[in-house]
Amino acid sequence: METILRGLTTVSFYASDLEEAKKWYTDFLNMEPYFNVPGYIEFRIGDYQHELGIIDSKYAPGGAAERPGGAIVYWHVDNVPATLDKLLSSGAVLHQPLIDRSGGKGDFVTASVVDPFGNILGIMTNKHYLEILNTQK
């Protein structure tokens, strides 16, 4: 059977001030974007080198929301509280607080913030992510 959705390729965020977004994400991620053209920057992140693209909001599709909403993409992190603290101290605003979705076991812990440019950034510790990663080593 063919799998239709094969994996995450690029998560796209919009920012009205692309240079400020570049500085903010470069600082948070502790890396420069690997791709940088007028109107668009892109970072390769993590174990699978997933792409986080930030697009000048003047290129947003018509009818795009002016405020945070819609789906939340959760990025795996090893320490949700520490990452959440870093995001908040960098100027992000809490969207959803720390939640242990595994009944106190710590297997699935989530939180999300709104970055200074209006995008929702989800973070999560997910035991299944780590299990899959460990089978590929």
Task: List, for residues 90-136, the tens digit of each pLDDT value.
Answer: 999 999 999 999 999 989 999 999 999 999 999 999 999 999 989 98
> What pLDDT sits at residue 4?
79
Q: Which long-range contacts (CB under 8 A, 24 or more apart) does 21-26 make?
A: 21/54, 21/115, 21/116, 21/117, 22/54, 24/90, 24/91, 24/115, 24/116, 24/117, 25/52, 25/54
Q: Is the pLDDT of residue 65 over 80?
A: no
Encode pLDDT of 1-45 as tens digits: 787 777 888 999 999 999 999 999 999 999 999 999 999 999 999
Please provide the size of the chain in residues.
137
Dist. CA 122–CA 13, nearest whole Å: 13
Tell me the average pLDDT across 58-67.
82
